[in-house]
Amino acid sequence: MRFALGLVLVAGTALASAQDSASGGGAALEIFRDRILPIYKSPKPSSCAECHLGNVDLKDYVSADPAETFASLRKEGLVDVKRPDESKLLKLIRMAPEKASPANEELRRKEYEAFRAWIAEAAKDPAMLAAAPPLKPVGPSVPDEVIRHARKDRLLSSFVENVWSERMRCWSCHAPGDPPNPKAAEAKRASIRKHGEEKILWFRGSTPEEVMDYLLKTRVLDLKEPSKSLIVTKPSLLVEHEGGGKMKVGDRAWVQFIRFIEDYAAIKSEKYKREEDLPGIVRTQQWLKVSGVPATKFVLMQVDLHRIENGRPSAERFASAISGAGPQGKWLAPVEVLVPRTSKEFDEVSASKKLPPGRYQLRFYVDSKNLLQRNPNHVFGPKDLSGTAEVSAEGWPVETRLEVPQPLVQTAAQELAFPGGRAEGGRR
């Protein structure tokens, strides 16, 4: 029996040696088993999660087989066998935000040291160098554009543009500190005593990043049904709100808040798979200002911009703007370009924040029947047209408002009652 057992042990040792030889042996295999595989198997996110909200994790670059992993990393240009310390993968691991947390900094250090040691040993191992890459490469399954879109700093830019820019609608009641008005301050303190700080103080922190980080952890965002988020339904009075109405269903702030939440929800659920799936809206730094909108009380107006080429306006709108007007008939909104994400014009407008040069036909849709408040995705047609005008993008600098002269619209608004609060430019 001892002899037979000895044969089994020898055979087992020989089999293990053959497997080690096929997958790389010695120090490289030992480091992979002890320091790289735990990263691959860990249910916790890697240090990548400090900058990326989804679509990428360090474990994406690893498989259970060390030789296949190394061969695939070589094929993708992520390791440099001649200068291991210059490997791109190591540079990616070392990337960190300006204010990295101590816990993530320590995690990042351990990951870096583990991969640095393994790559250095694997680059000297003939078996590793001779290994063929697998048919399915390691690494993220989505393109770089999707990975960059899920970066936290990119989401922060969206937050600043869509939510932070409209924060004063909610700030006095939902941020720490008392409002200047004594009665308002006492009402806020009473509300906090009644409901607790957690339910009242949504805007925690002094910077956009701090506020966004806190909001993303609260119950005020509904990632399954963004339009039902409390941060949207309460200020638009779709549910009871002690602070009254602060926005209207379908108005600029309402659209912007939902846009931010929808984008964040899509990132967290990894809905974006291709560049074409990403939002194709670019807000320019150019604003339209309109006077004389026919409104006896709050009414929404949408203005679509159609490029004029060869003397004719394009069939599809190139840009759009939406906002509300009140009894004084004043309307103001930023122009947003609506073009495919993969188009050349998207890149140009993203860089310049301006409409491309040329002439544009403006089509005005005074929402006299509250179509947008009933269905924010309503598409206006010729029968809804309230008037047109032409403008030139030349001479319309960034960060300035283009005031469209009267007369503007040819139809009167027949407004209908609809839940909502304080209007943009109007009254409650």
Q: State pTM to two decimals.
A: 0.81
* Residue 377, pLDDT score: 85
* Residue 346, pLDDT score: 92
- Interacting residues of 79 by C-beta distance below 8 A, sequence separation 6+: 70, 73, 87, 88, 89, 119, 122, 123
Instruction: Give the pair of three-digit tokens for residue 266.
Output: 């899509």
* Residue 327, pLDDT score: 85
Residue 47 phi/psi, 5-degree rounding, is: -65, -15
Instruction: Give the pair of three-digit tokens for residue 141.
Output: 């399954």
* Residue 116, pLDDT score: 96
In order of 13, 75, 341, 367, the CA distances from 3 in angstroms are 15, 47, 71, 92
* Residue 23, pLDDT score: 45
d(CA 206, CA 371): 38
d(CA 53, CA 158): 14
12 neighbors 24 (Cβ within 8 angstroms) = no
Instruction: Give the pair of three-digit tokens for residue 76.
Output: 């993708």
* Residue 6, pLDDT score: 33
- Interacting residues of 136 by C-beta distance below 8 A, sequence separation 6+: none
300 neighbors 367 (Cβ within 8 angstroms) = yes
Helix H segments across 234-310?
Answer: 252-268
* Residue 398, pLDDT score: 57
241 neighbors 419 (Cβ within 8 angstroms) = no
Place of tokens 């990042």: 108
336 neighbors 391 (Cβ within 8 angstroms) = no
Residues of the chain with pLDDT below 70 are 1-25, 397-428
Instruction: Give the pair of three-digit tokens for residue 280.
Output: 């194709």
* Residue 402, pLDDT score: 62
294 neighbors 411 (Cβ within 8 angstroms) = yes
* Residue 122, pLDDT score: 95
Residue 261 phi/psi, 5-degree rounding, is: -65, -40
* Residue 161, pLDDT score: 93
